[in-house]
Amino acid sequence: MLPIDADPVLIEARAIAVELRHSRRAVLEDCRRLRGEEAADRLRSALGSALGSASASEIERVVAGLPDELAPGVRDVTALQDRMTALLRRPAHRELVDRALAERALVLRTAARVRREDGERAARDAAIDAIAGSASASGRALTAAEERRIARLRREPEWHEWEGAVRSEAIRDGALVALARVRLREARAQLESGLLLTDQMRGIISEALPALRRGDPLLLVGETGGAKTALAEYLSERELGREPEFVSGYGDITSSQVIGAHELHAVEGATMSEFVPGPLLRAMTSGAPVILDEVNAMPAEFLKRLNRILQLRPGDVYAVQENGGRRVRVAPGFAVLATANEQTPHRYRGLDRLSAELVNRFGANSYRVRYPDAGRPYAQFPRENALLAAAAVVDRDGDLPRGVSAEQIGRVARAAFISQQVFAGEHGEGFADYVSTEREIDGRPGLEESVLAPRTLVSILRKTVGSAGAVTLDHALSRFVEGVMHREDRRVLTLILQGQGFRIS
C-alpha cells in the first residue's frame, strides 16, 4: 500500500477528500435543520459525488431555493469538488490515486474479514448465553442435550481467513486503523444509547441477566459518576426489553410515595377516595423492572419494607398495606434493580449504611461498578477512559472533530484515570511516580468530594466540541476545577491536570 504521506499528490488528495466529507456533512446537516429532511435529500442529490458530478447550473438552481446562510457552504463543497477534479485530470495523478484506492480496498476487505470472524465468535457466545439463560429463567438445570450443544459451540474452530490477506505491514497497520475507526463508531453509538459497553459492563450484564429474568433483585454499588444508573437502565430497557419504573432515593421519601396511597378526587360533585399505585406497585402488577436509584439515601423506615419486597418473585402475592391489605400477584418481568453509592460518610452526605439484612436479600447479585481502567497500573495507558473520551466526540465516521486531537484525548483520559483512582483510594502500582503530589489525610484519598468521573469527562469534552471553537479543552477543564467547592480538591485536581500538560487558570 502506498503510504498516504509518501507522495504530495496523495497527501493533497487525502486532505481534499477529508475536507470535502466534512463540508458536505456540515451543509447537509444545516439544510436538514433549516428546511427538513426532504430539502436535505434534494441538496444531496444536487451535490452529486465527491468528484463533482452535478453541473454548476444545477447546483446554482438548488442554492437559489435555499436560505442565504446555506449558500456559502454549498459553494465551499463545489469548490472542493472542482479541486479534486482538477487534481485527477492528469493521468499520472489518476493512476497514483487509483493504486492507493486499490490498496485501501484491500485493507478494508481485510478489516471486514476480521469483523466477520469477531461476529461469528460473538454469535456463538450469544447462543451459549441463550441456552444457559433459558434454563436459568425457568429455574432449572441444563439438560444433557443442552450441555452437548454448548460443548459443541465451544469446540467450533476459529478460522483466521484475514491472516492470509496480510501481505505487508502496511496492510496490517491499515486494517488495524480501520478496525479502530469501526470500534469508535460502535462506542459512539453505545454511548448515545446510554452505556459504553466496556469489558466490566459486559461481564456484569452477562452474569446478572439470568438472575434478573428469574425476578431476583440486583444491587449495583460504586462511586459517583461510574454509570451505575446507566447500567441499570440498559439492563431494563435493552436486555429485559421493558421500560422501567424509576424511583430516585432521598431522605424524606415515604412508602406511600413508592408503593401507593389513597387520593381524594371529585366525581360528579362528590369527593371520592381512590387508591393510586406508586411506581413499585405499578411495576409489580405490569411485570416491569423498577430501578431504586441511590437506595442508601432512602429512610430506614422504607428500607425495612423493602426487605420483604426483595423476597418477592413473579407469581408471589403481596399484601398492600397502603390499600387495606389488598393482595396483588407479582407479574412475570418484575425485578428490583437498586443502585447505591459507596459508604463514605464524609463524601456522600445523607447516606446510611445498608443493613446486613437488606444486603443479604440481594444474595450473590451484588456488583461493584468500578471506574474505567480500575486496577490498571498508573504507568499504563488508560484505554477505557480514552475510548470513552473519544466516543464522546467522534463523528459518524469515527473521526475526531477539529479542535480536539488524539493527543489531547490521551492526556485528558490519563488525567481522568488518575483522578478516579485517587478518589476511589486505589493507590496501586506506579502511584508514587505519577501522583507524587497527592497525600492521604487520616487514611482518606487525596480527593475528598470531586472527581473527573466518566460522565464529567463526557460532559466537558462535549462542551468543548459543541462550542464551535469558542471553548478550548483547557478552558472547559478550568471551569470544572473552578466549580469545585472543596478547596483542597481544587488544588489536587489542578495538579493532576497540569501534570498532563493542561493550562488550568
Flag the least confident range among 147-161, 190-204, 219-233, 315-329.
147-161
What Å distances lie between residue 343 and 278, 352, 424, CA to CA? 28, 8, 12
Give the residues across from 247 on adjacent strands.
292
Same domain, 157 and 228: no
Flag the least confident range among 76-80, 216-220, 244-248, 489-493.
76-80
pLDDT higher than threshold 80 for residue 485: yes
Same domain, 83 and 185: no
pLDDT at residue 50, rounded to an integer:
44
Per the model's pLDDT, the better-predicted residue between 413 and 2 turns out to be 413
pLDDT at residue 51, rounded to an integer:
46
Phi, psi of 198 (to 5 degrees): -75, 170
Per the model's pLDDT, the better-predicted residue between 111 and 37 turns out to be 37
Nearest alpha carbon to residue 417 among 359, 376, 448, 464: 376
**Residue 389 within a domain:** yes
pLDDT higher than threshold 80 for residue 268: no
Q: Can you tell me the mean pLDDT for 381-394? A: 93
Contacts of the segment 235-239: beta carbons below 8 A, 24+ positions apart: 235/205, 235/208, 235/209, 235/289, 235/337, 236/288, 236/289, 236/291, 236/337, 237/194, 238/193, 239/205, 239/209, 239/212
Same domain, 457 and 431: yes
pLDDT at residue 58, rounded to an integer:
62
**Residue 422 within a domain:** yes
Contacts of 468 (CB under 8 A, 6+ apart): none
Flag the least confident range among 397-401, 423-427, 484-488.
423-427
Domain span holding position 165: 93-193
**Tens digits of per-residue pLDDT, 307-317?**
889 999 999 99
Flag the least confident range among 68-82, 92-106, 388-402, 436-450.
436-450
The proportion of the chain whose per-residue pLDDT surpasses 70, expressed as a percent, equals: 82
Q: What is the pTM of this model?
A: 0.76
pLDDT band, residue 82 (cuts 50/70/90): confident
Say if residues 457 and 392 touch (Cβ distance below 8 Å): yes
Same domain, 218 and 159: no
Distance CA 192, CA 188 (A): 6
Distance CA 454, CA 412 (A): 11
pLDDT band, residue 130 (cuts 50/70/90): confident
What Å distances lie between residue 117 and 114, 160, 168, 393, CA to CA? 5, 7, 21, 28
Among the candidates 193, 225, 248, a domain finishes at 193
For 59, the grid coordinates are: 447546483
pLDDT at residue 49, rounded to an integer:
52
Distance CA 355, CA 388 (A): 35
**Tens digits of per-residue pLDDT, 187-203?**
999 999 999 999 999 99
Coil, strand or helix at 341: strand
pLDDT at residue 468, rounded to an integer:
81
Among the candidates 63, 89, 115, a domain finishes at 89
Distance CA 19, CA 84 (A): 11
Question: What is the torsional sign of CA 189, 190, 192, 196?
Answer: negative
pLDDT band, residue 482 (cuts 50/70/90): very high
pLDDT at residue 442, rounded to an integer:
42
Same domain, 299 and 388: no
Distance CA 399, CA 392 (A): 11
Among the candidates 89, 115, 144, a domain finishes at 89
Same domain, 295 and 411: no
For 186, the grid coordinates are: 460502535
Burial (CB < 10 A; 0-12, 13-18, 19+), residue 135, is: middle
pLDDT band, residue 455 (cuts 50/70/90): very high
CB atoms inside a 10 Å sphere around CB 12: 15
pLDDT at residue 169, rounded to an integer:
64
**Residue 129 within a domain:** yes
pLDDT at residue 250, rounded to an integer:
76
Per the model's pLDDT, the better-predicted residue between 139 and 29 turns out to be 29
pLDDT at residue 2, rounded to an integer:
42
pLDDT band, residue 172 (cuts 50/70/90): low
H helix count then E strand count, the chain: 19, 9
Distance CA 456, CA 462 (A): 10
Q: Can you tell me the mean pLDDT for 90-96? A: 85
pLDDT at residue 62, rounded to an integer:
62
Same domain, 111 and 234: no
Give the residues across from 291 on adjacent strands.
246, 337
Burial (CB < 10 A; 0-12, 13-18, 19+), residue 282, is: middle
Based on the structure, what is the number of domains in the chain? Answer: 4
Nearest alpha carbon to residue 301 among 340, 255, 259: 255
pLDDT band, residue 111 (cuts 50/70/90): low
Same domain, 84 and 182: no
Distance CA 451, CA 374 (A): 14
Q: Which of 44-58, 220-234, 415-429 has the highest mean pLDDT?
A: 220-234
pLDDT at residue 52, rounded to an integer:
46
Nearest alpha carbon to residue 391 among 364, 372, 367: 372
pLDDT at residue 337, rounded to an integer:
96
pLDDT at residue 437, rounded to an integer:
47
pLDDT band, residue 433 (cuts 50/70/90): low
Same domain, 218 and 360: yes
**Residue 1 within a domain:** no
pLDDT higher than threshold 50 for residue 145: yes
Say if residues 370 and 423 touch (Cβ distance below 8 Å): no
Same domain, 283 and 165: no
Q: Hey, which bits of 162-231 come out as E strands? A: 218-222
**CATH number of the CATH domain containing 296:** 3.40.50.300
**Residue 463 within a domain:** yes
Coil, strand or helix at 319: strand
pLDDT higher than threshold 60 for residue 505: yes
Question: What is the torsional sign of CA 225, 230, 232, 233?
Answer: positive
Distance CA 91, CA 228 (A): 58
Same domain, 402 and 494: yes
Flag the least confident range among 48-57, 227-236, 290-299, 448-457.
48-57
Q: Can you tell me the mean pLDDT for 402-428? A: 87
Phi-psi region of 287 (alpha: psi -120 to 50; beta: other; left: phi over 0): left
**Residue 240 within a domain:** yes
What DSSP letter does each residue of 386-418 carry, written as one string? HHHHHHTT--TTSPPPTT--HHHHHHHHHHHHH
Same domain, 355 and 390: no
Opening angle at CA 352, ends 347 and 353, nearest 5: 100
pLDDT band, residue 245 (cuts 50/70/90): very high
**Residue 504 within a domain:** no
Mean pLDDT of the chain: 82
Q: Can you tell me the mean pLDDT for 231-243? A: 94
Distance CA 118, CA 200 (A): 19
CB atoms inside a 10 Å sphere around CB 101: 12
Q: Which amino acid is at 73?
A: G
pLDDT at residue 133, rounded to an integer:
75
